[in-house]
């Protein structure tokens, strides 16, 4: 009984509530409709015109048409074929956002398009010009000052400066390709049409650039592409329309590389932002980039790579009056002082021994990481010819030598590479016919004998070796030096000579 009572009371209460709700709705029917209409139309645009660019979300996908919420009282429609990718596939779904242009509009429909294309007419081109609607065009051929472009089966001209946001280096890269253009000049009923791709790209890049420069900071790493190579550096495209420059000093820790040695146009590169300088006149800031600063300074680990006494090879990078710089590793240069170039001969200038680009063997003599200096020696790498002089030569030894230089006090005689001895003039006069010896020229070979060896002073004293000529000269010289005697002795000698049988 209690359950039935409860149900009856519940039915009565529910019926009473429904009656009250119907009454309320009837009384407020007009005001509720207006409220709903106002709510529906709140925020909608009612000033959309042909040529406007709209951003809307897909609300329905049909067989040939895609419907887009235009945030106005009329939904937009775009042909599905316009939204196919390069492989002919439709990759969108409900809710995806699209950016389109209004190409036709009335009270009941709004036709949208990515750009005007296909068979058009003068009126359509004029509408595109007046409303800044992009048109599809194909670059037919380069011409003086630009390109011939076909738009809606009409011939148009695109100046070379308007083809891209970057410098057009090779016009053939654009020939035969299809792009979107804005009509910037429409005259003589379509007989004079000028188009610009740059304006369209520039408009699209404004927001992208703005966001990039708001977010980019010194120290950021970016992937880029080499777009231009100059003697002083390399220009890298960080994103369409935004370039930075790598100065030649920031390419590598090595001083010996040049941009053309390691880069080609189009090469991908990883760079570090090292500077952002605001430019005047509203132009984008200048961005300085570096490749070498992505890696550690090689001098930071110099003590782990090289040691005093190491024998290594390197490349001569430059010659100065006081010596030559040799790169022994990328970014690591050492100095070969002119005094460290040769034991064999006196060096007046580094070019007497080396030239930039030469590969040479060196010995590390000193390392100063704090000052980033390394002292090198070429002559120690070649070896000191005086190191084993006492083993190669001995006093009294006779050997062949070459006249290297003639001086008033004697002749320098080359005994071997780096070993030169002095033959004093006094030895020549005593042991040789001076007049005959004077006829000998530099480069001529003579026989000499070692008289003295002083390794510490790097000196060897020589004498003329015994020979037929020198023996005869000695005999003649000795006879001339005998005393003549008294007058009586001279007379006696003369008488003896007369008495000798004829």
Domain segments of the chain as ranges: 53-113, 122-202, 216-294, 299-382, 398-480
Could you tell me if 60 and 66 are in contact, meaning their C-beta atoms sit under 8 angstroms apart?
yes
Q: For 299-382, which CATH superfamily applies?
A: Nucleic acid-binding proteins (2.40.50.140)
- Predicted confidence at residue 438, as pLDDT, reads 72
Q: How far apart are CA 96 and CA 90, in angstroms?
A: 12
Which residues are paired to 196 by β-bridges? 182
Could you tell me if 292 and 251 are in contact, meaning their C-beta atoms sit under 8 angstroms apart?
yes
DSSP class per residue in 192-215: EEEEESHHHHHHHHHHHHHHHHHH
Residues 6 or more apart in contact with residue 51 via CB below 8 angstroms: 101, 102, 127, 130, 131, 132, 133
Q: What is the CATH number of domain 122-202?
A: 2.40.50.140
Q: What is the mean pLDDT of each run of 10 residues along the chain (502 residues)?
A: 44 53 54 46 62 84 88 85 81 89 78 66 77 87 92 88 86 91 87 90 80 88 91 89 89 83 88 87 82 88 89 92 92 92 86 91 92 91 82 89 87 86 83 67 88 88 69 48 53 60 52
- Predicted confidence at residue 316, as pLDDT, reads 94
Could you tell me if 92 and 83 are in contact, meaning their C-beta atoms sit under 8 angstroms apart?
yes
Coil, helix or strand at residue 399: strand
pTM of the model: 0.48
The dihedral sign for the CA sequence 490, 495, 498, 500: negative
Q: What are phi and psi for residue 323, nearest 5 degrees?
A: 160, -165
Could you tell me if 420 and 483 are in contact, meaning their C-beta atoms sit under 8 angstroms apart?
no
The dihedral sign for the CA sequence 72, 75, 78, 80: positive
Question: In CATH, what class is 216-294?
Answer: mainly beta
Could you tell me if 138 and 178 are in contact, meaning their C-beta atoms sit under 8 angstroms apart?
yes
* Planar angle of CA 381, 383, 387, nearest 5 degrees: 150
Q: How far apart are CA 196 and CA 160, in angstroms?
A: 9
The dihedral sign for the CA sequence 421, 426, 430, 436: positive
**H-helix or E-strand spanning residue 413:** strand 410-416
Alpha carbons within 13 angstroms on the beta-carbon side of residue 123 total 2
Residues 6 or more apart in contact with residue 17 via CB below 8 angstroms: none
DSSP secondary structure letter of residue 279? -
Could you tell me if 314 and 270 are in contact, meaning their C-beta atoms sit under 8 angstroms apart?
no
Q: How far apart are CA 251 and CA 246, in angstroms?
A: 6
Per CATH, 53-113 and 122-202 having the same topology is answered yes
DSSP secondary structure letter of residue 338? G
Residues in the chain: 502
Q: How far apart are CA 36 and CA 322, in angstroms?
A: 92
Residues 6 or more apart in contact with residue 168 via CB below 8 angstroms: 160, 161, 174
Question: In CATH, what class is 53-113?
Answer: mainly beta
Q: For 398-480, which CATH superfamily applies?
A: Nucleic acid-binding proteins (2.40.50.140)
């Amino acid at each position: 009984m209690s359950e039935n009572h409860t149900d009856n009371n519940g039915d009565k209460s529910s019926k009473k509530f429904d009656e009250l709700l119907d009454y309320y709705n009837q009384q407020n029917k007009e005001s509720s409709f207006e409220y709903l209409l106002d709510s529906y139309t709140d925020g909608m645009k009612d000033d959309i015109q042909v040529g406007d660019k709209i951003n809307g979300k897909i609300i329905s996908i049909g067989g040939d048409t895609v419907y887009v919420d235009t945030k106005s009282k009329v939904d937009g429609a775009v042909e599905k074929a316009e939204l196919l990718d390069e492989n002919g596939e439709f990759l969108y779904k409900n809710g995806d956002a699209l950016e389109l242009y209004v190409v036709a509009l009335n009270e009941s429909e709004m036709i949208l398009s990515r750009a005007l294309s296909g068979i058009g007419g003068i009126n359509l081109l004029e509408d595109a010009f007046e409303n800044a609607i992009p048109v599809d065009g194909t670059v037919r051929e380069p011409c003086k000052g630009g390109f011939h472009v076909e738009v809606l089966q009409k011939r148009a001209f695109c100046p070379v400066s308007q083809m891209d946001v970057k410098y057009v280096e090779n016009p053939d890269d654009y020939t035969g390709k299809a792009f979107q253009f804005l009509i910037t000049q429409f005259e003589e009923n379509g007989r004079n049409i000028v188009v610009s791709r740059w304006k369209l790209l520039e408009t699209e890049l404004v927001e992208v650039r703005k966001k990039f420069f708001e977010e980019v900071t010194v120290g950021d790493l970016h992937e880029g592409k080499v777009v231009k190579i100059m003697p002083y550096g390399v220009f890298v495209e960080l994103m369409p329309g935004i370039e930075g420059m790598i100065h030649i000093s920031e390419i590598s820790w090595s001083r010996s590389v040049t941009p053309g040695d390691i880069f080609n146009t189009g090469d991908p590169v990883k760079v570090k932002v090292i500077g952002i300088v605001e430019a005047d006149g509203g132009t984008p800031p200048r961005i300085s980039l570096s490749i070498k600063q992505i890696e550690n300074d090689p001098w930071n680990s110099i003590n782990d790579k090289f040691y005093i006494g190491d024998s290594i090879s390197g490349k001569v990078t430059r010659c100065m009056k006081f010596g030559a710089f040799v790169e022994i590793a990328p970014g690591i240069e050492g100095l070969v002082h002119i005094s460290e170039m040769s034991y064999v001969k006196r060096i007046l200038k580094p070019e007497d021994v080396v030239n930039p680009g030469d590969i040479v063997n060196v010995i590390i003599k000193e390392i100063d990481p704090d000052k980033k200096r390394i002292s090198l020696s070429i002559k120690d790498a070649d070896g000191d010819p005086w190191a084993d002089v006492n083993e190669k030569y001995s006093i009294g030894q006779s050997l062949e030598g070459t006249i290297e230089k003639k001086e008033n006090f004697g002749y320098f005689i080359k005994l071997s590479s780096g070993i030169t001895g002095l033959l004093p003039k006094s030895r020549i006069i005593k042991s040789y016919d001076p007049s005959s010896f004077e006829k000998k020229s530099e480069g001529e070979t003579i026989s000499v004998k070692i008289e003295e060896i002083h390794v510490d002073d790097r000196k060897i004293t020589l004498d003329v070796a015994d020979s037929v000529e020198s023996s005869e000269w000695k005999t003649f010289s000795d006879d001339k030096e005998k005393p003549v005697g008294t007058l009586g002795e001279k007379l006696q000698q003369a008488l003896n000579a007369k008495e000798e049988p004829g």
